[in-house]
Chain A
Amino acid sequence: MNFLLDIDPKTFWNAPNGSFELYAKIFIALILAVAATVGMLYAPPQLRKWIIRLVTFGSGLFYVMFWLFPAPIDRQPTSAPRNAVETFSFWVSDSQLVVASLTNVISGFLIGLGIYSLLRVHLGRIAKQQRDWAFSAVLVGSMVVMVFFGFGDWIQHQDPKNFILADQKNWGLINYGRDLLFDGLLQNMDAGMFSIVAFYILSAAYRAFRARSVEATILLLTALLVILSLMGVVEFLWSGFIDKISPTNFGMHAFVQSFKLSAMSGWLRSNVQTPAIRGIDFGVGIGLLAMGLRLWLSLEKTGGEG
Chain B
Amino acid sequence: MGNQYQDTGWFMIALTLLMVTFILINIYRAHGGKDLYIRRIAGLNAIDEAVGRATEMGRPVLMVPGLTDTTVNAKTMQAINIFAYVSRVAARFGNPILVCCYNASTYTVAQEIIRDVYQQEGLADQFDVDSVRFISDRQFAFAAGVSGLILREKAAATFFMGEFYAESLILAETANSVGAIQVASSTELTQTPFFIAACDYVLIGDEFYAASAFLTRQPVLVGSLIGQDWCKLAIIALVVMGTIANTIQQRGEISKEFKKGQMVDLPKPRQIKQSDTFFSHLLKADPADVKIEREKLPASELPTPSGGGSK
Hey, which bits of chain A sit against chain B, CB under 8 A? 2, 5-10, 14-19, 22, 66-71, 73-82, 89, 92-93, 96, 103, 106-107, 110-115, 117-118, 120-121, 124, 131-132, 135, 186, 189-190, 193-194, 196-197, 200-201, 203-205, 207-208, 277, 279-284, 286-295, 299-306
Contacts and interface: CB of A to CB of B under 8 A. Distances in A.
| Chain A, interface SS category | helix
Contacts of B297: 78-80
B150 to A, nearest CB: 13
B85 interface: yes
A86 to B, nearest CB: 8
Contact of B81 (A76, A77, A304): A304
Interface in B284-311: 290-292, 294-298, 301-304, 307-311
B22 to A, nearest CB: 9
A17 B310 contact: yes
B231 interface: yes
B198 A113 contact: no
Given A114-B134, A287-B208, A282 B1 contact: no
Contacts of B55: none
Interface stretch (B33-41, B169-177, B258-266, B267-275): B169-177
- Nearest 5 Cβ contacts at the A-B interface: A287-B209, A114-B104, A283-B206, A6-B308, A304-B85
Contact of A287 (B27, B206, B218): B206
B78 A291 contact: yes
A135 B138 CA distance: 18
Given A96-B1, A200-B173, A291-B78, A304 B23 contact: no
A304 B310 contact: no
A305 B113 CA distance: 11
Contact of B27 (A16, A82, A120, A299): A299
Given A69-B1, A282-B235, A302 B196 contact: no
A36 B139 CA distance: 35
Given A18-B311, A79-B296, A208-B196, A110 B209 contact: no
Nearest to A112: B104
Nearest to B136: A118
Given A74-B292, A194-B140, A306-B215, A286 B197 contact: no
Given A205-B197, A289-B16, A300-B221, 14 more contacts: A9-B302, A16-B304, A78-B297, A113-B107, A117-B130, A204-B173, A280-B206, A283-B206, A286-B206, A290-B225, A295-B74, A300-B77, A302-B113, A302-B116
A112 B105 CA distance: 10
A5 B74 contact: no
B144 A66 contact: no
Contact of A79 (B84, B133, B143, B294): B294
A283 B232 contact: yes
| Chain B, interface SS category | helix
B97 interface: no
Contacts of A135: 148
Interface stretch (B2-10, B56-64, B248-256): B2-10
Contact of A78 (B141, B227, B296): B296
A103 B302 contact: no
A81 B107 contact: no
B95 interface: no
Interface string B187-198: 101001010111
Contacts of A67: 1-2, 4
Contacts of B224: 290, 293-294, 299
A68 B13 contact: yes
Contact of A80 (B16, B148, B210, B294): B294
Given A5-B309, A303-B84, A290 B294 contact: no
Contact of A6 (B19, B189, B298, B310): B310
Contacts of A282: 232, 235
B172 to A, nearest CB: 7
Contacts of B152: 131-132
Contacts of B240: none
B166 A194 contact: yes
Interface in B16-66: 16, 19-20, 23-24, 27
Contacts of B210: 287
Given A283-B205, A286-B19, A73 B235 contact: no
Contacts of B13: 68
A150 to B, nearest CB: 13
A120 to B, nearest CB: 7
B67 interface: no
Contacts of A8: 303, 307-308
